[in-house]
């Protein structure tokens, strides 16, 4: 496959919960044309949680790749030098709104776009899934879920944790009914979406019977279309 413009968005799960499983992580690496891809972890949304970073290395050091990570809250390296060589970029979960604010301050969003355009594989879970879309459903606010404008590399909206957090489904439906949310994808934990050149490529299940839905409002009626899942 031509790897230009690939994005893999994960609804929940992966090495943050179980670094020994490595199913979706191996799939991401398999999409690279590079024999030993350079994988860069971006843990900004978790405020660079140390245990999360440890889990990243516990997972990816067991795979055929060269793993590293970028920090913004300690002494930050030359970002362009790292990003220009990255084959795979993996964005972790956490507070999406704060993550995007930090990225924009460092102009990191522009480096991500540049990496995407040259063919690096963009991936991530939760905050690292919704950030690529025009809009995402986020729990960045403690009080309630909200619609957040994101990077817009992919059209439409995205909601992670669609099965594991009870407020997700009714919130998506309400935002659609109110016209605040664009039609888009709802991803359960253990599932992911793979896009190629901005177009939907396939839906993936790496845990149990995880599902992905395309959700939209038509004449004030909510439609959830379950996508055909490809088991890993």
Flag whether pLDDT at 104 surpasses 50: yes
Please state, in angstroms and rounded to a whole number, the distance separating the CA atoms of residues 43 and 128: 9
Please state, in angstroms and rounded to a whole number, the distance separating the CA atoms of residues 89 and 7: 10
Catalytic residue status for 194: no
Distance of CA 137 to the CA centre of its chain: 12
Catalytic residue status for 161: yes
Q: Which residue spans within 46-132 are E strands per DSSP?
A: 66-69, 88-91, 121-125
Confidence of residue 1 (pLDDT cuts 50, 70, 90): very low
Q: Give me the mean pLDDT over the 8-35 stretch.
A: 94
Confidence of residue 141 (pLDDT cuts 50, 70, 90): confident
Per cent of the chain over pLDDT 70 is 98
Query: Of the residues 32, 123, 140, 161, which is catalytic?
Result: 161
Output the average pLDDT for the chain: 95
What CATH architecture does domain 6-231 belong to? 3-Layer(aba) Sandwich (3.40)
Query: Of the residues 126, 140, 157, 171, which is catalytic?
Result: 126
Q: Give the pLDDT of residue 126.
A: 97
Flag whether pLDDT at 3 surpasses 60: no
Task: Considering only residues 164 and 127, tell me which one the structure prediction assigns the higher pLDDT.
Answer: 127
Q: Are strands 199-205 and 191-196 parallel, antiparallel or unpaired?
A: antiparallel
Please state, in angstroms and rounded to a whole number, the distance separating the CA atoms of residues 76 and 132: 23
Flag whether pLDDT at 4 surpasses 70: no
Q: Give the pLDDT of residue 196.
A: 96
Q: Model confidence over 169-219: pLDDT tens digits?
A: 999 999 999 999 999 999 999 999 999 999 999 999 999 899 999 999 998
Closest residue by Cα to residue 9 from 186, 171, 172: 186
Residue 162 main-chain phi, psi, to 5 deg: -70, -25
């Amino acid at each position: 496959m031509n790897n230009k413009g690939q994005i893999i968005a994960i609804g929940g799960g992966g090495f943050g919960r179980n670094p020994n499983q490595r199913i979706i992580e191996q799939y991401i690496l398999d999409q690279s044309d590079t024999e030993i891809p350079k994988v860069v972890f971006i843990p900004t949304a978790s405020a660079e949680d140390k245990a999360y970073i440890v889990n990243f290395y516990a997972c990816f050091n067991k795979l055929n790749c060269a793993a590293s990570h970028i920090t913004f809250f300690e002494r930050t390296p030359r970002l362009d030098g790292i990003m220009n060589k990255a084959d795979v970029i993996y964005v972790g979960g956490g507070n999406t709104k704060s993550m995007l604010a930090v990225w924009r301050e460092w102009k990191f969003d522009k480096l991500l776009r540049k990496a995407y355009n040259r063919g690096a594989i963009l991936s991530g879970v939760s905050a690292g899934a919704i950030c690529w879309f025009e809009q995402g459903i986020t729990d960045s606010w403690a009080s309630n879920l909200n619609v957040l404008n994101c990077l817009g590399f992919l059209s439409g909206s995205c909601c992670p944790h669609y099965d594991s957090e009870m407020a997700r489904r009714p919130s998506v439906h309400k935002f659609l009914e109110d016209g605040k949310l664009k039609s888009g994808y709802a991803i359960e934990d253990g599932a992911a979406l793979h896009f190629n050149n901005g177009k939907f490529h396939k839906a993936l299940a790496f845990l149990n019977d995880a599902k992905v839905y395309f959700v939209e409002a038509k004449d004030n009626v909510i439609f959830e279309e379950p996508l055909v899942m490809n088991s890993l």
